[in-house]
Amino acid sequence: MPGFSPTREETQEDQRLYTKARLVEVACLDCLAVVGVKKNSEHHTSIQWTGQAQNDCQEFARMAAAPRGRTIFEPCPRLQASIDAAACEGKIPIGAEDGY
């Protein structure tokens, strides 16, 4: 898959804000995979997976072993429950700041 490497400082800052700003680390309560999460609203959740978190996720491993494999956009329901719990406990701020 082709990558995008911005060269202008302004574009690099926009990319950083979009992908990393306000991320809160959340650990799955099941497999302990750690991802970065931000919620711009009650219904919008951004999740940034690391390679380590993908390797740690037992649900993804189970899905990948299925006959058709795991579709790339299929979420981990166990992690989603962990994120929902963290949001309910106030550990994840809800609401976009400056569009991010």
Tokens representing 65 are 């072993």
User: Per-residue pLDDT for 76 more than 90?
Assistant: no
pLDDT at 100: 56
Q: How far apart are CA 35 and CA 48, in angstroms?
A: 6
The residues spanned by each domain of the chain are 23-88
> Mean per-residue pLDDT for 44-58?
91
For residue 57, name the pLDDT band (cuts at 50, 70, 90).
very high
Q: Confirm whether pTM is higher than 0.85.
A: no
Q: At 19, which helix (H) or strand (E)?
A: helix 9-20
User: To the nearest whole number, what is the mean pLDDT of the chain?
Assistant: 84
For 26-47, the pLDDT digits (tens) are 999 999 999 999 988 888 898 9
pLDDT at 33: 94
How are beta strands 45-48 and 34-39 bridged, if at all? antiparallel
